[in-house]
Structure 1
Amino acid sequence: MLGVNQYGKAETHLVRVVRDGDVHELRDLLVSVALSGNLDDVHLRGDNSAVLATDTQKNTVYAFAKEHGVGTPEEFALLLARHFLDGAITRARVQVVEVGWARLGDHAFVQSSREQRVATVIASGADAWFVSGVSELVLLKTTDSEFHGFPRDRYTTLTETTDRVLATAVSARWRHDGSASFEDARGALLDTFAAHHSLSLQQTLYAMGSALLSACGSVHEVRLSMPNKHHFVVDLSPFGLENPNEVFHADDRPYGLIEGAVVRDGAPDPGPVWDPYPLV
């Protein structure tokens, strides 16, 4: 006998940007759908006539975000669940998990739930070296980011853009004499990301590292690792909907990984103590 069963689309990652004037609103959701009902025929005979494709469920999540907005997670889940109760489907379970973002400016945000503060002290005899930093400092801005002018060959499909979502998870380490303020260093990274008009993530990395050196005179060098957390505009045209940079598919892999160091002129050479460290 066929026992209890269900099916659905799990963890559709939806990012919804509301562009109402200069101040943008950002919502970041993971939506999981599980449907059950009169589905014996698909299991026992391969008859798919009662099966709403999981790809259709994913598309519905994106389209509803545009057509109806998100509201509270409870409201959005109820809206979707009621929509999926149709014909053979007698039970719809929709789970919405929201990740919170704190505002840095009109259109820049920081996600702090995964952030870690890192401190390393290397002591040798009477000497000590200090390395401070952060990991998983997740940042996102909904505009003021471009990427164009890159070389193209027969394998290039990426389109050029003058307005994109720029998101990254910053890992940074800065070498100092023991007196650098963590708050000043972190603040310089955040403020620069928010204010900087980016032509590439590499340019933003250098600007953030330079700002940290300017804010903290005792820092000799900062090394940064910044993955490009891609956000792709969802094509809603099959559903008769326009999407002017409002509904995105957040793709976690593969990703571009941008890494680099910014060094103060005349900084003392730490020798082999610093060299064994990876870039971050």
Structure 2
Amino acid sequence: MTVVLGPNRYGKAETRLVRVTRDGGVHHLKDLNVSTALSGDMEDTHLTGDNSAVLPTDTQKNTVYAFARRHGVDQIEEFALLLARHHVGSQPSIRHARVEIEEYSWDRITPAGDPGDRRHSFVRSGAGVRTCVVHHDADGRTTVVSGLADLTVMNTTGSEFHGFARDEYTTLAPATDRILATAVTARWRHASPDPPPGGSYAESHAEVRRCLLEAFAQTHSLSLQQTLYAMGRRALETRPEICEVRLALPNRHHFPVDLEPFGLDNPGEVFYAADRPYGLIEGAVLSEGAPGAGFAWD
């Protein structure tokens, strides 16, 4: 039997970075989780322990902090591109870099009656986590994937689920009016590694997010799968800079509570929110003709 080394990469995971930009008395906050992974001519370190081609993961961490000071942090896609291109260009042994960033949102606190507002006070936002993954290799191929996670949404009506397949183990009753709730994880691939029209990843992200939310709210859902497709389709039809959307939608089940033992009715008002197990609906929606092969997502 012949044993060979397969695909491999290494890096520094979850480097926590908080960058404060001090614009006079007004402070701006960026709160990031940065993960880098490098691959290339790394056979010797696996086979013989020769580390001469290995850029330490500690160096990757230090680069995040140094670049945050030297270049600042504006759009996470741009910061990820900067890091990825640097690592590929810095060492001949590195052929590919992957940079993943999560951004946690903070809102400025503005107390009532404060004449100057609190220019340095913030509260953690519940608007979900902004994400991106950038891949860049030594041949100049670049993929930019933006996204969001933990965006919790709910429709308290306008959702059904019936007409499904049955077997001897099926006990689920058909539903013609149910709560539909999910915590959206969405990722969308940019058609080009160049900045979006107008050069603003922030505007592009905000508009894709708006499309996803509006489609969720406006779709009378016969299944969560139908809602997933409607969300992806709305984003693709509205935003020409993206060519593929991938969604993961866990079904956050809400079950009506039986109140008859207490002599009470329950006309769709009292529910038990179950955290597990849950249905998990995943899918991709693509623009017709969009290139689908050879693009790195993960």
Report SS of the residue matched to 2:126.
Answer: coil
For 2:225 and 2:283, how far apart are their aligned partners in 1? 8
Q: How does 1:13-162 map to 2 (within 5 A)?
A: 113=126, 115-125=128-138, 126-162=140-176
For 1:236 and 1:135, how far apart are their aligned partners in 2? 35
| Cross-structure match for 1:166 | 180
| Cross-structure match for 1:234 | 257
1:188 CA displacement:
0.3
Unaligned runs of 5+ in 2: 1-124
> In angstroms, what is the RMSD of aligned CA positions?
1.4
Report SS of the residue matched to 2:144.
Answer: strand
AA matched with 1:167: A
1:207 CA displacement:
0.4
Report SS of the residue matched to 1:205.
Answer: helix
1:236 CA displacement:
0.3
Instruction: Render the CA deviation track for 1:101-144: whole Å, top value 9, x for unaligned.
Output: xxxxxxxxxxx627100012212233321100001111101000
| Cross-structure match for 1:271 | 294
1:270 CA displacement:
4.8
AA matched with 1:147: F
| Cross-structure match for 1:217 | 240
For 2:161 and 2:296, how far apart are their aligned partners in 1? 37
Instruction: Render the CA deviation track for 1:155-193: whole Å, top value 9, x for unaligned.
Output: 111110110000001101100024160011000000000
AA matched with 1:149: G
For 1:149 and 1:239, how far apart are their aligned partners in 2? 33
Seen in structure 2, the aligned counterparts of structure 1 residues 134 and 128 have a Cα distance that, compared at 3 Å, is same
**Which of the numbers 205, 230, 244 marks the counterpart of 1:207?**
230
Percent identity of paired positions between Structure 1 and Structure 2: 56
1:153 CA displacement:
2.1
For 2:281 and 2:291, how far apart are their aligned partners in 1? 25
For 1:194 and 1:209, how far apart are their aligned partners in 2? 13
Report SS of the residue matched to 2:208.
Answer: helix
Flag as ranges the 4+ runs of structure 1 deviating above 6 A. none
TM-score with structure 1 length normalisation? Answer: 0.56
Number of matched pairs? 164
Seen in structure 2, the aligned counterparts of structure 1 residues 156 and 175 have a Cα distance that, compared at 3 Å, is same
TM-score with structure 2 length normalisation? Answer: 0.53
